[in-house]
Amino acid sequence: MTDWDAALYLKFEKERTRPAIDLLARISNENPRTCADIGCGPGNSTELLVNRFPEAHIRGLDLSPGMLAAAKLRLPHVDFEQIDLAHWRPGRPYDVIFASGSLQWLPDHEALFPRLASLLTVGGCLAVHMPDTLQEPIRALMRMVAAGGSWTAKLMPVATSRPRIGSIKDYYRFLATACGSIDVWHTTYFHTLDNASKIVEWMKGCGLGPFLAQLDQDERRRFLEEYEARISAAYPPQIDGKVHLAVPTLFIVARRSI
């Protein structure tokens, strides 16, 4: 996967931004001087930080050129930087490090989360949310389709490469040494979409991307046809004809104490 499609992602901007709004509401820092939005995407989460902390210096970080281009158009006065978060080593600590739906793509959270906490000022806040959808049909069916076609050799490495998200107890343990205040919780969003095709469109803007990037045009068409047929069966219409997309989400807000 060489890049992400900001336009596809933003087709569901309202729904995708909702967890970031809820996460931001749990940050108690009133006047941070510096904020980093890591995995900022097209800038929808960065815009929340700008509005909440107008006096702070805010920097958006992402690996995707396409996402960063969209973010710069949206917020031309904010500093954005292309960087691999796995190797991020800022020259100064931050008062707030905000990660909206990005860290689930990175491995070794047992090392990653303490490292991020170490990049905070004393009293600084690490705020993270991650979709926890490994067992949901939207992801399980991707793996099933990947394993059942002529594309299996291409797609199984992708299907097995995404890191697993830990438990609430895991993240408390990862952060307990450096952070005196740790709030970890789990919730499920139910997004109402028009039909099963809209669920497929949703997934094209996130989890399906790495799969589709490995396929030629005909394979991509056949993969999507099979995936949509399975999604239609897994997400039947409600009484009004619409479907509910369940997205379990893990939240973490931790304050550095040492």
Burial class (CB in 10 A: 0-12, 13-18, 19+), 118: exposed
Identify the bridge partners of residue 254 per DSSP, sorted by sequence position: 126, 182
pLDDT per residue as tens digits for the range 143-165? 999 999 899 999 999 999 888 99
Q: Which pLDDT does position 149 carry in this prediction?
A: 86
pLDDT at 1 over 50: no
Burial class (CB in 10 A: 0-12, 13-18, 19+), 155: buried
Q: How far apart are CA 27 and CA 178, in angstroms?
A: 17
Q: How far apart are CA 197 and CA 58, in angstroms?
A: 37
Out of 121-130, 161-170, 229-238, pick the least confident: 161-170
Q: How far apart are CA 155 and CA 4, in angstroms?
A: 18
Where in 52-101 does DSSP place strands (E)?
Answer: 57-62, 79-82, 94-100
On average, the pLDDT of the chain sits at 96
Identify the bridge partners of residue 81 per DSSP, sorted by sequence position: 61
Mean per-residue pLDDT, 5-13: 94
pLDDT per residue as tens digits for the range 28-58? 988 999 999 999 999 999 999 999 999 999 9
The residue to which tokens 């509401």 are assigned: 25
Q: CA geometry: angle at 156 spanning 245 and 212, to 5°?
A: 60
- Say what the pTM is: 0.95
Domains of the chain, first to last: 6-256 (3.40.50.150)
Q: How far apart are CA 102 and CA 191, in angstroms?
A: 19
The one-letter amino acid code at 52 reads: R
pLDDT per residue as tens digits for the range 181-210? 999 999 999 999 999 999 999 999 999 999
pLDDT at 2 over 80: no
